[in-house]
Copies of this chain bind each other. A is one copy, B any other.
Amino acid sequence: MKRPTLDDVAAVAKVSPKTVSNVLRGRPLASPATQERVWQAVAAVGYRVNRAGRALAGGGSGRIAVIVPNLHQPYYAENAERLILALAAQGLTSTLRIAPDAAAEREAVFGGTTADADGVIVCPHHVNAGLLGDRAPDRPVVQFGSLPTGLLDTVVMGEREGFSAVTRHLLDTGRRRLALVWNATSSGRPDGRRFEGFEEALAEHGLEPDPALMVAGSDWDWRAPGFEAMTGLLASGARFDAVLCINDSVAVGALRALRAGGVRVPDDVALTGFDDTDEAEFTVPPLTTVSPEHEAMVDAAVRMMVERLGGEAGPPRVHRTGAHLIPRASSGVPR
């Protein structure tokens, strides 16, 4: 009743355990006939590789650590799901680590609790890009959805073009006073690629961002801060006919604040998000958002990981995906 080992397979196939190992690893060292015999023996005894043994012997654990700050924010939960499934499709198991703070995030990337993983895919949140890149990891690390550091393989979404696309969309449909619900940054003002896209599209219409219409939530990527920021903006008495949110969750919070304030969406104010999370489709009204092309991002991340695991060397690479507008009712033309 004991779980079969390589030796058991070897005995049945009448080869050495090492040959079985080679066949299993896909090494082209055995003759086709032998390979066939080995596979039959594997099936016959119901062999499954013991990961612990393999890892101990230096064959790698076949496990990739996926690191997200949390799972209660749809953006992270949905990406974690996509990454885990895509890794599984490559025969890689994954271990999901939740890094609730910067220390945990760094720790998860550089070893410690994830030391048993052959590689790491991290959706950074707490630790800014530079900090993550300041130490050389001893295994492949792919940054997912964040700014490239030049030190790690990175997959970035079309933040700039995506944000300029929504901005343009709003301008094209007649909106002129565009508010921004942003995340707080250390410098106290919105920055980053999305903001560039915003400025870019405004500039095309001879406009520029109005500081009085830019409010920051207390934290990145969360509904309550979106609600609070929007409530604050409404209270300020500022006038606007559109609100662009840094992401969908913030938009969901902002939407509630708008409704609470008696503001009609989209009649009085258009509202947009970013990320194309599932929840955006089911708000009332459905939320206009930007799809960062999730499939392409995940494919790129997994491909990079597999290549690095396969021994591919070379400098860190950056994969940029596109982004496209998903227009929905929340940014409908005002009546």
Instruction: Mark A50-73 against chain B: 1 for CB-CB distance below 8 A, else 0.
Output: 111101100001010000001110
- Which residue of the partner chain, among B51, B94, B98, contacts A116 with CB atoms under 8 Å? B51
Known: A227-B282, A282-B253. A100 touches B85 (CB 8 A): yes
Nearest neighbor of A249 in chain B, beta-carbon distance? B282
A34 to chain B, nearest CB (A): 26
**A256 is contacted by which of B81, B115, B284 (Cβ under 8 Å)?**
B284
A95 beta carbon closer than 8 Å to chain B: yes
Say yes or no: is A178 at the interface (Cβ < 8 Å to chain B): no
A65–chain B nearest beta-carbon distance, Å: 10
Q: What residue in chain B is nearest A222 (Cβ atoms)? A: B278
B52, B72, B78, B256: which contacts A78 (Cβ < 8 A)?
Answer: B72
Assess A282 versus B81: contact at CB under 8 Å? Given A53-B56, A56-B56: no
Task: Please state if B61 and A71 are interface contacts (CB–CB under 8 Å).
Answer: no
Q: Name the distance in Å between A222's Cβ and chain B's nearest Cβ.
A: 9
Q: Is the CB of A72 within 8 A of B61?
A: no
In the bound assembly, the distance between CA atoms of A85 and B70 in angstroms comes to 10
B284 touches A255 (CB 8 A): yes
A278–B48 CB distance below 8 A: no
Number of chain copies forming the complex: 2
Contact with B along A285-298 (1 / 0, CB 8 A): 01000000000000
Chain B residues whose C-beta falls within 8 Å of the C-beta of A21 in the assembled complex: none
Q: In this assembly, does A151 line the interface, its C-beta being within 8 Å of a C-beta of chain B?
A: no
Q: Which residues of B contact A55 (CB under 8 A)?
A: 52
Which residues of B sit under 8 angstroms from A259, Cβ to Cβ? Answer: 284
- Chain B residues whose C-beta falls within 8 Å of the C-beta of A85 in the assembled complex: 98, 100
Residues of B within 8 A of A3 (CB): 115
Closest partner residue, chain B, to A58 (CB atom)? B52
Cross-chain contact A95 with B93 (CB below 8 angstroms): yes
Q: In the complex, what residues of B have CB within 8 A of residue A48's CB? A: 112, 115
> Given A72-B78, A77-B77: A282 and B95 within 8 A (CB)?
no
A74, B43: Cα distance in complex, Å: 39
A sample of 30 cross-chain residue pairs with beta-carbon separation below 8 angstroms, ordered by A number, consists of: A48-B115, A51-B115, A52-B52, A52-B56, A52-B61, A52-B116, A56-B56, A63-B95, A70-B81, A71-B78, A71-B80, A71-B84, A72-B74, A72-B278, A74-B74, A80-B96, A85-B100, A88-B98, A94-B96, A96-B96, A223-B278, A223-B282, A253-B282, A255-B284, A256-B283, A256-B284, A256-B286, A279-B279, A283-B283, A284-B284
Known: A50-B56, A71-B80. 14 other contacts (CB 8 A): A51-B116, A52-B53, A53-B56, A70-B81, A72-B81, A84-B98, A93-B113, A94-B95, A95-B95, A253-B282, A256-B282, A256-B286, A283-B284, A284-B284
